[in-house]
A = this chain, B = another copy of it.
Amino acid sequence: MKLASNLQEQVASHLRRRILSGQLLPGTPLREQTLALEFGISRGPIRDALLHLTKEGLLVAKPNVGVKVAAEPSGFKRHVIVHLRREIEASAITAWFETRDPHLLRRLDDNLALYREACGGSDLGQVVELDMAFHRLIVETADKGSLVDLWLPIMLRMFLRYSRHRDLMESYHEHASIVRAMHAGREWEALEALKSHIV
């Protein structure tokens, strides 16, 4: 977990985690003044953070009214999002198989160990964080990480409904399958495992 030096990023990270872990439910309004009091800072950085999260799709804004936590994507939209995520992450994995840089494999192994541990625990925020970090590691390897800013908003919208319909341990095993196929050098198998993991 990285520590940002500027307030707006700290606020954004904090709120992002609270939304993704389900502590802030869709529809919950977020007021600038309230948050400013809560964080003990002025409204400026709060505004910046809310603007960030709005563009990331976690909040929706109405001019002169305020922001609230975004609704979970509809069935149709979610269907499109699934395809987009698959496209991006599959491209990244395909690119990785060109070089098979072992550095990524080491970091994925590390992440897997932490992820398994977190899935057993009760801190859902930690689980979300590690799940996201896993996929981010994959996306970051391709094209010097240039896909991340394209991938992040899509990923975040999907994770808006993280807590539901999800068996954490099964999710861990799916991650493990992907990494196993990469270790073994079987590209097709890795892509299939990825595809069936993203639903």
Which residues of A are interface residues toward B (Cβ below 8 A)? 5-6, 9, 47-48, 51-52, 55-57, 63-64, 73-74, 76-77, 79-81, 83-84, 87-88, 91, 95, 142-143, 146-147, 149-150, 153-154, 157
On whether the beta carbons of A77 and B146 are closer than 8 Å, the reply is: yes
On whether the beta carbons of A77 and B150 are closer than 8 Å, the reply is: yes
Q: How far is the CA of A64 from the CA of B8 in the complex (A)?
A: 12
What copy number does this chain have within its complex?
2
On whether the beta carbons of A146 and B74 are closer than 8 Å, the reply is: yes
Distance in angstroms from A175 CB to nearest chain B CB is 22
On whether the beta carbons of B80 and A88 are closer than 8 Å, the reply is: yes
Residue of B nearest to A79 (CB): B91
Q: How far is the CA of A101 from the CA of B77 in the complex (A)?
A: 20
On whether the beta carbons of A80 and B147 are closer than 8 Å, the reply is: yes
Known contacts A47-B48, A52-B55, A150 near B83 by CB under 8 Å: no
B residues in contact with A80, CB < 8 Å: 87-88, 91, 147, 150
Distance in angstroms from A168 CB to nearest chain B CB is 27
What 15 new A-B contacts, CB under 8 Å, besides A6-B63, A47-B48, A57-B149?
Answer: A51-B51, A51-B52, A52-B55, A55-B55, A74-B143, A76-B95, A77-B143, A77-B146, A79-B91, A80-B147, A80-B150, A84-B150, A150-B153, A150-B154, A150-B157
Distance in angstroms from A90 CB to nearest chain B CB is 10
